[in-house]
Amino acid sequence: MLLIANGMNCQKLIPIVLIGLLQACSGSPPVSLQSTPVTNQEAVSQPNPPTSETPTQSIEPVREVQTAERPNLPAFCAPDEYKLFFEKFVLGKDEQGNDIRAMYTADLIEVRNYDNPDQVLEVLRRQDDEFSIDLVDTRWVQLVASPVDNSPYTRLNLNIDRISSDTFQVDYIKAQYKYTGDVTGTESEEIVQTFGNSAAYIFQHRNGCWRLTQKLRSTKPQ
């Protein structure tokens, strides 16, 4: 009877053991195995920190330095002060003795045909150019003896024309003048004649100020 009872108990235990094994196989994996992939996924999905601030911080100091190093330009450098600029340019020196012609002449000057400005005759370096206009007693002159009178310099008939917002042209030609003052002491002159060929200087507004960039010279025989 004991054997029969034991056999029956074994038969009851077998299904219980099998159920326990099935539950163990279908159960969740250990916590340590679950946590690893979740952590990796979170690390991958996190966005990179923004980097837009870095270039802004590196550029702004450079801009500040460039602004600080830019000198204050004189008033005659303003686009509308081109006539005043030309007068200062002709005088050649400013109040501090600085060479205005050297400061405001381009490194290379194109010499073009006065009668055909599209034709480039030559290109001069700044140090090789000879600016030929001077100002004596408020009169435009060339510092060479006049061939038509006894004056130690040659008078010029000169016109300053702004041909665009950033360009002005100075046309000039040798001239003889006659004094026409009256008994009231009013001083005036009139042109008797012009002679020789016309010529011109062209100035362009660059880097905040006017600069001599071109000369026009006639190729016609005088």
Q: What is the pLDDT of residues 75-104, one digit of tens each?
A: 999 999 999 999 999 999 888 888 999 999
pTM value?
A: 0.65
**pLDDT at residue 211, rounded to an integer:** 98
**Which 3 state secondary structure label does DSSP give 97?**
coil
| Higher-scoring residue by pLDDT: 184, 68 | 184
| Higher-scoring residue by pLDDT: 37, 136 | 136
- pLDDT at residue 119 is higher than 70: yes
Find the length of the chain.
222
d(CA 114, CA 59): 47
- Nearest Cα residue to 152 out of 142, 137, 140: 142
In eight-state DSSP terms, residue 27 is S
Range 76-217 classified under CATH 1.10.3470: no
- pLDDT at residue 70 is higher than 60: no
Average pLDDT over residues 104-119: 97
